[in-house]
Structure 1
Amino acid sequence: MTATKDWKIALITMDSIDQHWVTLNEGAQAEAKALGVTVSFMSPNTKDDAQQIECVNNAVAGGYEAIIVAANGPDAISSALKEAASTGVKIVYVDSPANVEAEATFSTDNEAAGKTAGDEMIKALEAAGITSGKIGIVNVNAATDSTVKREAGFRSAFEGKGYELMETQYGEGDAAKSQTIAENYITQGVVGIFGCNEGSTTGTGNAIKASGKTDIVGVGFDKSDAIMNLINDGYLLCTMAQNPDVMGKEGVKAAVRALEGEELGGAVSDTGVSVLKKN
């Protein structure tokens, strides 16, 4: 498939810094080149609702015909997206949807992946003879659809087990804030910590490394060089790696198909996850 014209498509992710979003953009740009359309990466530099709303408004003002978006929260940018859609702009979600109808969504089955993360932690703890103890959870915030579902899946893995899941703490996806949270969990004697995204996972691994306690099981989400180094050095057990490049590619394909007049019916596609462990 090639496009009948050079459609203008905006790609708006939660930020422009996490390796996850950089990889998603790379996938989108490769597909844009193949199809002969223009994709502009216009993401905020930090996870901020106001900045994300501004990006959506700028895309509409700039005459973009489709917006591919990873919503920072399900409600915050909804009115901006509704306004965009009312002007005829096509909306496609990648990674995290908002509560506004879209042409299509491409994301990880976050609840299932979160449960897998919990299962991996339980297996490692039981293998070490640990069948009870406190578990800490470092999440981004209480609103982002993807990470809320990961936490729900993770917690479900522990139902009926002898562990105590502590109250979730939020680090806004910032590695330094997440490290402080994880360090607080470690002082409370946890046996495991789950990081719900790239920054949370990096912070968790760095806290375990700084504590010198190699018996704490750290499990995370997303893939980056820092996370892979923490896994290979033994400070994290594993991470749930998403496929952001697939999200980017499929997002562009769907946007073009919608712009060419195809009805996609709001289909939700699972872009998969892999468990990455020590090499």
Structure 2
Amino acid sequence: MKKSVVFVLCALLLVTSLFAQGTQEKTKGNYKVYLITMDQMDQHWVNVDKGAQKAAAELGGIDYKWLAPDIKDDAKQIECINNAVAGGADAIMLAANGPTAVTATLKEAANAGVKIIYVDSAANFPAVQTLATDNTAAGTTAGKELIKALEAKGVTSGKIGVISVNSATASTVARENGFKKAFEGSKFTLLETQYCDGDAARSKDMSANFITQGVVGLFGANEGSTVGIGNAIAEAGKSVIGVGFDKSDMILNLIKNGYLLCTMAQNPDVMGYEGMKTTIKALKGEPISSEYYDTGVSVLTKNSL
């Protein structure tokens, strides 16, 4: 009788120990987190990934993966989200291509218990938090920098060309709108925006077309667009002032060589780093400070490099 009682007690202790161990391990981490970006082309996304990797390493116990289409494509991004869910994702950090294309897929993911966190660009679907640049304000800053440089040359009117990604991506649309806001009440004329999907070669061709139309200034709304306008200005050899967005070696070289005035440098590493911290807090049921986290922007010029 005593032996059976001892056996039962031992069994209960073993079960309790295993349960406690499992709970402790889950508290430590053992979460599957996926970063899904618009594409793999831009250094911007590489830096988001680096930030996420750093936070995951510091927090420990996180199974982290970066998924991205080779090119910007809604169907391919949807496929990435589905693959993450099928792979057992606890959370997805997402830079959405546009506001609506992925919403149905995100709803399915959320119904499966997956937490959604936006980095850089949000979709029209509720998420734990959005970590991004205040793109409208940064776009306005870019416009003001261009106006200031033009006026310093004695140019107070003329045509301005804008190269952006597309008419749907929330982040670049906000930058474009903010940029245009800076020109309200001025004598400058903003030409119709040309969308080149962030492709540097196409952006260069469209910028060259703007230059033949006699523009005095050009604005690029993301990395590829900015590289494109800088290369077009370099090739044309004309006195056109270019301002842009994002930070890469190519953009910095264009600024150093005088083909771009400045770029609005985001903090993609902060998006990834703080995004991962938010993700794990959400998975642990800890409170999140706010729905929006402004990751900031800096104006990089030749003098500041």
- Specify the TM-score bucket, using the shorter chain as the normaliser: over 0.9
- Flag the 1:3–1:45 CA change in 2: closer, same or farther, 3 A: farther
Equivalent positions of 1:1-279 (< 5 A) are 4-36=28-60, 37-213=62-238, 215-264=239-288, 267-278=291-302, 279=305
1:266 deviates by: 6.1
1:132 deviates by: 0.2
Greater C-alpha Rg:
2
Number of corresponding residues: 277
Residues in 2 aligned to 1:139 and 1:24: alpha-carbon distance in whole angstroms: 21
Tell which deviates more after alignment, 167-176 or 263-272.
263-272
1:229 aligned partner, one-letter code? N
Identical-residue share of aligned pairs (%): 61
1:119 deviates by: 0.3
1:252 deviates by: 0.5
Residues in 2 aligned to 1:270 and 1:101: alpha-carbon distance in whole angstroms: 17
> 2:23 aligns to what?
none
Residues in 2 aligned to 1:68 and 1:114: alpha-carbon distance in whole angstroms: 24
With normalisation by structure 2, the TM-score equals: 0.89
Residues in 1 aligned to 2:218 and 2:107: alpha-carbon distance in whole angstroms: 38
1:92 aligned partner, one-letter code? I
* Runs of at least 5 residues in structure 2 that lack an aligned partner in the other structure: 1-25
1:263 deviates by: 4.0
1:120 aligned partner, one-letter code? E
| Higher RCO (CA-CA < 8 Å; seq separation 6+) | 1
2:269 aligned partner, one-letter code? D
Residues in 2 aligned to 1:74 and 1:118: alpha-carbon distance in whole angstroms: 25
Cα RMSD for the two superposed structures: 1.1
* Runs of at least 5 residues in structure 1 that lack an aligned partner in the other structure: none
1:5 deviates by: 2.3
- SS of aligned partner of 1:141: coil
Residues in 1 aligned to 2:234 and 2:112: alpha-carbon distance in whole angstroms: 51
Report Cα offsets for 1:90-129 as digits up to 9, x if no partner: 0000000000000011000000000000000000000000
Residues in 2 aligned to 1:27 and 1:17: alpha-carbon distance in whole angstroms: 17
